[in-house]
Chains A and B, each alone.
Chain A
Amino acid sequence: MSKAAEGAAPMVRARNVHKSFGPNEVLKGIDLDVAPGEVVVVLGPSGSGKSTFLRCINHLESIQRGFIEVDGEQIGYALRGTRLNRLSDHAIAVQRRKIGMVFQQFNLYPHMTALENVVEAPIGVHGQPRAEAQANAMELLARVGLAEKANAYPRQLSGGQQQRVAIARALAIRPKLMLFDEPTSALDPELVGEVLSVMRDLAKQGLTMIVVTHEIGFAREAADRVVFMDGGVVVEQGPPQDVLGNPQHPRTRLFLSRFIEKV
């Protein structure tokens, strides 16, 4: 696809990213560029480091080597002359405000209704007037097909509905980049489709998205690029028809063959 405009400054630039949990090295030098408007789907077996990498992009996890830039700004650090300073918690919070995130476990605020969940950050973090934020939130809830559930509490919604509210909540801050951390992995199989269809619509509308998932079908239909990770490195990447249709690396082939056997 040509959405990833040639030569445009990348939305995400990751270089030589290393991350360890104690002695366990989870990321062993990740390099990845994501162009504005590009939809990147990250696949890989459990423990490949793909979720960790996603969480490093908005600094929910700190990295030990390399650097990550989002929209031209280094995440978590600032270069002053030749000296790289750690940013304060508050400065990091400000950086995160242009990045939306959807979690595997939804993480909706259980004491707030769907509508309150969606308007919380626009009003409280971005200083939007309440009326405007609510109108915008209702639009977003309608977009994910849940306008009539605006006053329901998360507990009263199915998993798929909760995840769609969570997507609306992340969109409400008008993010430049959306991160999806296994958004369908906690869902009952019959609820996966409704969430994926919302995500497919977003992909078509030119939102920059990085999606960590196990949904090969979604990768094939919606991704501009598929990144296959294993053992903390990017093993292979390219257009979905290449990586999924004609994988070059034996580990990619092994991974994909498991999905074929399942059917």
Chain B
Amino acid sequence: MEISSGEAALRDVANAHQPPAWGRWLLWAFVLAVAANFAWIVAHNPHFGWPIVGQWFTEASILRGLGVTLGLTVVAMTLGTALGLVLAIARMSKDRLFGSLSGLFIWFFRGTPLLVQLIFWYNLSTLFPEIVLKIPFGPVLASWNTNDLITPMTAAIAGLSLNEAAYMAEIIRGGLLSVDKGQVEATDAFGMTRARALRRVIIPQAMRSIVPPTGNQLISMIKATSLVSVIAMADLLYSVQNVYNRTFEVIPMLMVAVIWYLIITSILNIVQGFIERYYARGERGTVSADKVPVRVEEPA
């Protein structure tokens, strides 16, 4: 059937409109109204003590605590990731010794509460008053007094990073396993050393599945650092606790901490987005060559 040229122009989908969705607009209006009302209630509730929040938000001891929280997060996360990478590679190696040592480490540090690990490190000197470097059953090479080594700072770093390493090891191992087997074969066939293959080919591809859960870990690490307040490490939470122990303004001071935590995690979310986009390079594009049945050619 022939369509008139006028109708063809009208039917051209290039000129199509989206009919207004009144239901959705209504829903939006309702949700926004509820949110605005909730914000108004929170803002006008005197128990939140917003003027006090404003007054303490950038106070010196709070900012120092914030610095400790950030510093501890960066150090523990860096050490944890580096050790986690080593553990993941050891766990995947053909060598049974490295594989089982790594497995044992992960089993222990994932299997016990972080809080207990922190307290354990902090009180290490009661278990081992001296730390000794020696040949097993042989002579002593060097020794240190445990109390000199273990400060709240070192206990916090040891506890947080060893615990983090166990989790990161599993995340990194999962990422390495997600890389196509053909990639490993290609690096083998070209005579690359294992270290170079990991660095140049395997890890960059594994990063795509390592980055999102690592972002998750980083965010939970920022909050996990608040556990170090039990070993008298003056992080953000410990600093606000210090204040409200004197002033009894518990909720306003906790709001100070909450807002700071939210600001940091929001920034990290944005950074994570950029990192994910970087490791997705090479993924944008059109044609993908997938398996096609074996081709048979002309007769012999």
Whether, in the assembled complex, B11 has its beta carbon less than 8 Å from a beta carbon of chain A, the answer is: no
Contacts A60-B188, A96-B190 hold; do A214 and B200 have CB atoms under 8 A apart?
Answer: no
Contact A121 B297 (CB under 8 A): no
Whether, in the assembled complex, A112 has its beta carbon less than 8 Å from a beta carbon of chain B, the answer is: yes
User: How far is it, in angstroms, between the C-alpha of A112 and the C-alpha of B290 when the chains are bound?
Assistant: 19
Question: Using Cβ atoms and an 8 Å threshold, which residues of chain A touch B201?
Answer: 109, 120
What does the 1/0 interface line of B271-300 toward A look like (CB < 8 Å)? Answer: 000000001011111111111101111111
Contacts A97-B191, A217-B297 hold; do A112 and B282 have CB atoms under 8 A apart?
Answer: yes
User: How far is it, in angstroms, between the C-alpha of A82 and the C-alpha of B299 when the chains are bound?
Assistant: 50
CB distance from B261 to the nearest CB of A (A): 34
User: How far is it, in angstroms, between the C-alpha of A158 and the C-alpha of B285 when the chains are bound?
Assistant: 11
CB distance from B292 to the nearest CB of A (A): 6
Contact B287 A244 (CB under 8 A): no
**Cβ-neighbour of B183 out of A101, A109, A218 (below 8 A):** A109
Closest CB pairs A-B (n = 9):
A159-B289, A155-B285, A97-B191, A156-B285, A260-B299, A96-B191, A107-B186, A107-B182, A153-B282
CB distance from A13 to the nearest CB of B (A): 20
Q: How many residues of B contact A (CB 8 A)?
A: 37
Whether, in the assembled complex, A125 has its beta carbon less than 8 Å from a beta carbon of chain B, the answer is: yes
Report the tally of A-B residue pairs with Cβ distances under 8 A. 133
User: How far is it, in angstroms, between the C-alpha of A250 and the C-alpha of B157 when the chains are bound?
Assistant: 73
Interface of B is mostly: loop
Residues of B within 8 A of A (CB): 180, 182-183, 185-186, 188-194, 196, 200-201, 204-205, 279, 281-292, 294-300
What does the 1/0 interface line of A106-138 toward B look like (CB < 8 Å)? Answer: 111111100000001100110000000000000
Whether, in the assembled complex, A208 has its beta carbon less than 8 Å from a beta carbon of chain B, the answer is: no
Question: Using Cβ atoms and an 8 Å threshold, which residues of chain A touch B284?
Answer: 153, 155
Can you list 23 A-B contacts (CB < 8 A)?
A46-B294, A58-B189, A60-B189, A96-B189, A96-B191, A97-B191, A103-B186, A107-B186, A120-B201, A121-B192, A124-B196, A124-B200, A153-B285, A154-B282, A155-B284, A157-B289, A182-B294, A192-B297, A214-B295, A216-B297, A218-B297, A259-B297, A259-B298
